[in-house]
């Protein structure tokens, strides 16, 4: 069995209703955004142009929702699923205010029935 440099949880370590705040923050740079857009081909105007985002009431263009989801979901791996045989799944996703570049996006997970 591979040993990891951090403690992760096993299924029996979780409690119903437990909220886990993931410690490692992630600030998304323009390079991250450009790589994501180049790989996915996503071209939603609000995510590509500051001028469009400002016209829609945002101070700058928000990050693409799926990019934020993938980053947040990836941040849960050390705490939730390193020791898991399969992922525990996800449901009831919170909708937080839009994340923007150079601003850390928080990630948290909770256990439910």
Predicted pLDDT of residue 89:
60
d(CA 113, CA 107): 20
**Cβ partners under 8 Å of residue 36, min gap 6:** 42, 64, 67
Architecture per CATH, domain 25-83+96-110, reads as Roll (3.10)
Predicted pLDDT of residue 54:
94
Predicted pLDDT of residue 16:
78
> Would you put residue 97 in left (φ > 0), alpha (ψ -120 to 50) or beta?
beta
Predicted pLDDT of residue 110:
62
Predicted pLDDT of residue 93:
62
**Domain boundaries, given as residue ranges, for the chain:** 25-83+96-110
The one-character DSSP state at 11 is G
Q: Mean pLDDT per segment of 10 residues, for the chain of length 113 residues? A: 64 76 77 89 86 92 86 75 62 68 69 58
């Amino acid at each position: 069995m591979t040993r990891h440099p951090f403690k992760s949880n096993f299924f029996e370590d979780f409690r119903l209703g437990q909220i886990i705040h993931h410690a490692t923050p992630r600030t998304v740079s323009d390079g991250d955004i450009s790589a994501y857009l180049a790989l996915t081909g996503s071209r939603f105007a609000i995510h590509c142009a500051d001028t469009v985002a400002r016209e829609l009431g945002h101070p700058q263009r928000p990050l693409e929702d799926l990019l934020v989801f993938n980053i947040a979901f990836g941040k849960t791996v050390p705490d939730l699923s390193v020791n898991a045989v399969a992922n525990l799944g996800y449901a009831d996703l919170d909708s937080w205010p839009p994340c923007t570049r150079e601003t850390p996006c928080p990630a948290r997970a909770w256990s439910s029935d």
